[in-house]
Amino acid sequence: MAFTRACEEVGIKAPPLTEFRSCIGPPIQVLARQLVPEIESDRLEALRLRFRAEYDHKYYSQVQWHEGVIEGLKQLHAQADASLSIVTNKPTQPTNSLVADARIADLFASIIGIDFRVTLGEGKVFSSKKEAISYALSRTLCSREGAVYVGDTPSDQKASLECGVAFIAATYGFHLWLPHELEGTTAAGSFAGVMDCLKRMAGN
């Protein structure tokens, strides 16, 4: 695993895999600070660089798509009134590689990683998922009222709601959702469930 290898490289003890998986969502430097609060700033930066080198060029290819995701995305893309975009805390390059390897890059109007503006030479990395979602909306004809963000962490939920965008909690992802986190939230336990939620939201 990329994070374990990065921890070994910078001389710190990696947390248990279950603990790491439960925290997935924020940028790696935020996640690392959360898991190893005592880590020094220079070692944190070294860990970030080592992780990116490991994940972006090797471990990203080991990602396994959840059941029904690829076929469901193709079905959504085929709908005349649907436009799909990816907004993620992952860097843009490995995200592009992931979707290219799955042969679904043509399904997305935009693929926006945390460093997307940097890749265009237009600015800095996004300071938050909220900023990234707002930026993605500015690049499309979709209104906030017509947009839906599907995410698998409470931080995704918070960013979406702060943007005034409807949210679907993908409870089949890494985060173990607690009952109070899902109060008043539309949730789906599979991608087929996401499709059902979208149909209900659209009034179909």
The angle, 0 to 180 degrees and rounded to 10, between the axes of the packed helices 69-77 and 191-201 is 30
Separation CA 132–CA 170 (nearest Å)? 19
pLDDT values of the chain reduced to their tens digit, one per residue, 204 residues: 777 877 777 888 887 877 777 777 677 788 788 888 888 888 888 888 887 777 766 666 667 789 999 999 999 999 878 899 999 988 898 899 889 989 999 999 999 999 999 999 989 999 999 999 999 999 887 888 999 999 999 989 999 999 999 999 999 987 889 999 999 999 999 999 999 999 999 875
Angle, vertex CA 27, rays to CA 118 and CA 154, nearest 5: 125
Closest CA to 133 of 148, 152, 123, 121: 148
Do 74 and 84 touch, CB atoms closer than 8 A? no
Q: What is the pLDDT of residue 130?
A: 94
Return contacts of 56-62, CB within 8 angstroms, 24+ apart: 56/91, 56/93, 56/94, 56/97, 58/2, 59/1, 59/2, 60/94, 60/97, 60/98, 61/97, 61/98, 61/101
Domains of the chain, by residue range, sit at 2-62, 69-201
Element (H, E) at 112: strand 108-112
pTM of the model: 0.78
Residue 27's contacts (CB-CB under 8 Å, 6 or more residues apart) are 89, 114
Q: What is the pLDDT of residue 26?
A: 72
Classify domain 69-201 by CATH architecture.
3-Layer(aba) Sandwich (3.40)
